[in-house]
Structure 1
C-alpha cells in the first residue's frame, strides 16, 4: 500500500498501541483527516511496513509488552521514512530521549492527550513529511537534470565559486564534479580567458541575462567548436551558466548558405553558358561552312583551323559551366570506374608533365573487385583530369598524385547532403601545398582561382561539383597548408553487369532524299548557320525568327517535312511551339536545339541537340527523324 502525501492533503497514519480502546479513541480523532491503519502489536506493524505500507506518520505508544515504542520506532526506520510520534502515559524523560536518539521521533504527547493539540501535532508531522518528500523529489530532478543534460550547466555563488555543475561542464574544464565544487573557474583559465570570463559574468549580473557565441578549439587539430553560452543572474550574486554546442548547427547553416550561393551561381552560369553557346554555334558553324569555300589556300586554312581550335576551347569552357550549373544533360550509364581510370594513362601522362622538368608521379590504388558506378563517363574522365591538373599545379617542385577507388557504404549524415547507401568513392590525393581554410571555403565558386592570370579558369572544381551532384553523388575535400589535398567523389554504385569504360556514338547516315525544313531561332546568326548546315546536306530551308511566325509557316506551307527549333526564345519557348505544332501537324518530326536543357520543361518525346553542334551531329538527328 503506497500513499502520496501533499501539504494539507490526505495521507496514511499507522497507529500502534497495545490497548484497543486507545486505538479506537485515536481513530475517532484522526479518521476525518487520515486513512488510519492500526494494530495492537508492534511486531505486526513491522510486518505491515516490510510488506509495503507507506504511512506519512507513525504514532506509537511507549509502554507496550515485548517491544517498547522507542525500540519499535528504531526498527521501523529500516522500512519507512515516516514522521514518528510517541505517546507515553508517564513523564519518563529517559524514554523520550531514547526514542529521539534511536527512533528519531518528531514529537511526543502525554496520555491523556488534549485532542486539538494532538491533532495539530499529527497534522504538522504529515505536512513535514510531504514537504520533505517534495524537496527530495526536486533534488532528484535537479540531480537527474545535471547528470543527464548534454548542455554544460553550472551555478556559481557571489564569489564565483561553483556550487553546482554537471558532468558535461566538469569534463569541458578538464575535471570532475567533485574536484571542481567550491573552486573558481578563473583558476582553471589563462589570464586572458579569465579576464574575458570576468567581463562576461559582470555583464550578466548587471543586465540579468546575456547570451554570446564563443569560439573554442575543437578536439581535432585545427578544428573549431562553437558554443552558445547563456548566463542568467538569480539574485544574491548567484549566476547560472548554460553552454550549448552549436557547431553542427553552424555547419548546417554554412552548408545551406553555400547551397543557396551555389544555386544562384549555377543559375547565372547556366544563363552565361546558354548565351555563349549561341555565339559558339554561329562561330563554329560559320567557320565550318567557310572552310569549304576558301579552297586549298594553306594560309587561310591555317587561320580557320586556329579560329576553330579557339572556339572549341570556348565550347569546353561552356561544358564546364553547364556541369557546374547542372543544366547539361548527362549521359548516365553503368561505368567500370577502374577501367576508366586505367584508360586515362596516356592522357594523364601527356597532361601532367611538370614545368621546368619537374616530375609528377601518378599512382593508382584501385579496388581489387570491379567497381561500377552510374555516371557520365566522359564527364567523369574530364573531372578526374581537372583534379589531377589541379594537383599538379599544387606541386611546383614535383610530387605524387594518387587515384584510388573503392566501394563504400555511407551512413546517413556521414557525408554532407548525401543520402545513405552504396557508393563508389574515387579519391584524388596529392602531396602539394594544400589550401588555407579561406581558400577551401571558396573552391566551388565559378571563376575563383588562385592561379596566375591566364593559367586557370576557376571552373575545374565547380564542374566536378556539378557532375557529382547531378549524378546523385557527393564530394568532400580535405586540405591543409603544407599537407596536400584529398578530393573524394562519391558516385552511386551500380550493377556491374553492363559496365563499360566509355561509349562511342553510333554512326548514322544522313537522309538521302532532301526535304523542306523549317528553322526557328530568334538569333539570326545561329539560324543562318543551321540553315546553311541543312542546305549543305541538300535540304531546302525556310526560316522563322519566333514561335508565332513558325506557326504561320506551318499553317500556310504543308510541304514542310521537319521543324528544327531553338528551345529558349522570347514570348514562346521551343517546348510551347512544339506542342502547338503537334496539335496542327501530329506527324511532323521536331528537333529542339538548346544551349542548356531544362529537361522537365521539354515536350515529351522530342529529341534535343545541344549547342554548339557540328554539321555531322545535326545530320545524324535529321536522318533519324526522317527515318
Structure 2
C-alpha cells in the first residue's frame, strides 16, 4: 500500500528537517515554512492525513491556520508548542481545531505515536464517510424500498421510497415502528409484515417472501428480503429490509405459464377432436348407410334421424373445438349474424347452466357482417361465459343485434356497421379494472377459473375485422360488451347437399381404402361400394403398398394419422411408384401433420355426397 501523507508546517527550517527525518520512513512528508502556503498545499493535496504545525509563526499562528484548514480539509491536526503557549493549545482543543499537541522539545516516540493515532483516526473517518456515502447513495437512488430497523422494529434508517409507501417523509419515520405509522394512517397495520420481521430476527437467517397488496386483479406484488444484522456480541441488533416491486415480473411469469397451458390445451383439443371425428365418421356413416334399409319403417327411421341429428351437433361442437386449437389467420366473409346466434342456442344453453336465462333481441332485417364466423362464435361464447361468471347467484343475459350508421366517429370510418351486444345483470366491473380487462392474461377470477384471454381475443377479433369493442359497466348494475363489425351486403349461404340424391359411380374403378380405424375404414369402404366402385381395405400403409404391388388400383383413399406410416408418407410412395394413381387424404385434424398443398384432403366427419364428389373429381382425369 502507498504511504500516508502528512504536512509539516514550521517557520524554522531546522525543525522542518527534523520532522521530515522523523516521519519519512512511515509517511510521505510535505513541508512548508509559511502558514499561507500550507493552506494552498492543503487545497491541492486531498490525500493529506495529518498536519503537524508549530504555534508561533510570523504572519499567522498555528491555531489560526489550523482553524482555517478545518474549513477546507478533513486532515487531523497536531500543534507543536512551548509551555508558554498552553492557553492557545487549550483554546484550539476546545474549538475542535486540533486533535492533539506536543511540546517542544518533543519526545520522538510520543510524537510518532500521536501522529500514528491521528493517521488512524483520519483513515477510519475516511472509510466511515465512504461507507456512509455509499449507503446514502443506495438509499436515495435505489428503486427499491429499503429500511433498517432495530430489534424492536423501530426505523433507524430508511429511504424516501419506503417513507412514501407509509405516507410520511423520512424524518417522521425514524424511531417509530411500521405498525404504528400504518395505524395512524388508518391502513392495514401490517401484522403479517411485523411477524415476518420478528421471525427473521429470531432465526437470524435471511428470508425472502412475496407479498400482494391491492384489490383482486389489481394486486401489486413485492419481493421482501429481510437480512438480520448482528452486533459485536453476536446477537441480532438490526434488521435490513429490501422491498422490490415485482408486479411486472409476476405478470410475465403468469403469461408464460398461461401461454404454455394454452398451447397444451390446444394440442389436447386437437387430439380430442381427431378422435371424436373418427367416432362421428363411423356413427354418421353407419346411420347414413342404414337409412335406406329402413325407409319403410317410420318409427325406426325417426330414431335413426334423431341419432343422425345428434351426431351432426357433435360434429359442429368438434369443429368449434378445432377452431379453438388452431392458430390461423382470420377468414372473414359475409355472415348472417342472426342465424349464427340462433345456431349457437344449444351450445350456449349447455355452457351457461340452469341459473342463467338467455334472451335474444335480433334485428328483424337480418344484418350481415364481414367477419370470420368461427372466431365470432368463439367470441360470443367467451362473452356469455364471462357474463355467467359475473352472476354467481343467477341472472339474465341478453344477446342483441342492430345496425349502426357511424358519422364522424373518432375510431372508425363513416359507414354502416352491425353491432352485437352481450349484456348481463351481474356484479359489474370497477373502473380501475375496466381499464385492463382487454389485456392478455389479465383476469380477476380465482386460480384455475379463467385464462385471461377471453376479452383479449374478442378485442383482437374486433381490431383485425376493422371494427371496435366497447365495454360499459356499473358496479352492481351489470355489464354490456358491444362488438361493432363492418356491415356486409348479404350473407353467403352454406351449400347444402341434396339428401334425396344417392351418389353413384361415374365410372368403373378399383379403390384402396387405408385406415387404422376399422370402423371408419369399413364405413368409407361401404360408401364406395354403395356408389358402385370396387373397393379393398388395408389397415396401414405397409399393407397398402403390398396390395398395390399385387393388384392394380385407380385411387387410394388414406387416413392422415396412422401408426408406422402417415397418409402423406404413403402418398409419396404411391406418387413415386404409381404416378398415375391419385391419393385422397382423410383427416379429423388437418393441423396434426403438415399436408402438401397439392394433395387433396377431405375432412372428417364427411357425408357420402362429399366423398362421392371428391372421388369422382379425382378419377375424372384418368377417364
Q: TM-score range by the shorter chain?
A: 0.7 to 0.9
CA 1:152–1:94: 2 relative to 1, 3 Å: same
What's the offset of the Cα at 1:349?
A: 7.4
The 5 Å alignment of 1:292-307 reads: 303-307=303-307
- CA–CA separation in structure 2 for the residues paired with 1:23 and 1:93: 22
Match of 2:549 among 555, 572, 575: 555
1:204 alignment counterpart: 200
- CA–CA separation in structure 1 for the residues paired with 2:376 and 2:296: 37
2:567 alignment counterpart: 574
CA 1:583–1:380: 2 relative to 1, 3 Å: same
Match of 1:218 among 196, 211, 214: 214
CA contact (8 A) 1:209 1:233 kept: no
3-state SS, counterpart of residue 307 of structure 2: helix
- CA–CA separation in structure 2 for the residues paired with 1:392 and 1:555: 61
Match of 1:10 among 3, 9, 21: 3
CA contact (8 A) 1:83 1:129 kept: yes
What's the offset of the Cα at 1:520?
A: 0.3
2:432 alignment counterpart: none
- CA–CA separation in structure 2 for the residues paired with 1:117 and 1:84: 15
CA contact (8 A) 2:221 2:247 kept: yes
The 5 Å alignment of 1:5-404 reads: 10-51=3-44, 53-89=46-82, 91-101=84-94, 104-189=97-182, 199-209=195-205, 211=207, 213=209, 215-218=211-214, 223=219, 225=221, 227-228=223-224, 230=226, 232=228, 234-235=230-231, 236=235, 238-242=237-241, 243-291=243-291, 303-324=303-324, 326=325, 328=326, 330=328, 332-333=329-330, 335=332, 344=337, 347-348=340-341, 377-387=372-382, 389-390=384-385, 396-397=395-396
What's the offset of the Cα at 1:313?
A: 0.6
CA 1:481–1:284: 2 relative to 1, 3 Å: farther
What's the offset of the Cα at 1:314?
A: 0.2
What's the offset of the Cα at 1:277?
A: 0.8
Task: Count residues in correspondence.
Answer: 557
TM-score where L is the length of structure 1: 0.73
TM-score where L is the length of structure 2: 0.73
- CA–CA separation in structure 2 for the residues paired with 1:348 and 1:506: 19
Greater CA deviation, 151-160 or 11-20?
151-160
CA 1:264–1:184: 2 relative to 1, 3 Å: same
CA contact (8 A) 1:434 1:484 kept: yes
Extract unaligned runs of 5+ from structure 2. Answer: 364-368, 412-418, 430-442, 498-502
Extract unaligned runs of 5+ from structure 1. Answer: 1-5, 364-370, 409-425, 446-459, 490-495
> 1:162-186: CA deviations, max 9, x gaps?
2222333323333222111111333
1:413 alignment counterpart: none
CA 1:233–1:120: 2 relative to 1, 3 Å: closer
- CA–CA separation in structure 2 for the residues paired with 1:567 and 1:21: 107
- CA–CA separation in structure 2 for the residues paired with 1:130 and 1:402: 82
- Does residue 597 of structure 1 match 2:590? yes
RMSD: 4.9
- CA–CA separation in structure 2 for the residues paired with 1:95 and 1:387: 90
- CA–CA separation in structure 2 for the residues paired with 1:165 and 1:613: 72
Greater CA deviation, 530-539 or 38-47?
530-539
CA contact (8 A) 1:85 1:105 kept: yes
> 1:293-345: CA deviations, max 9, x gaps?
65588766655543332111100111233234x2x574x35648xx76xx525
1:523 alignment counterpart: 517
3-state SS, counterpart of residue 38 of structure 1: strand
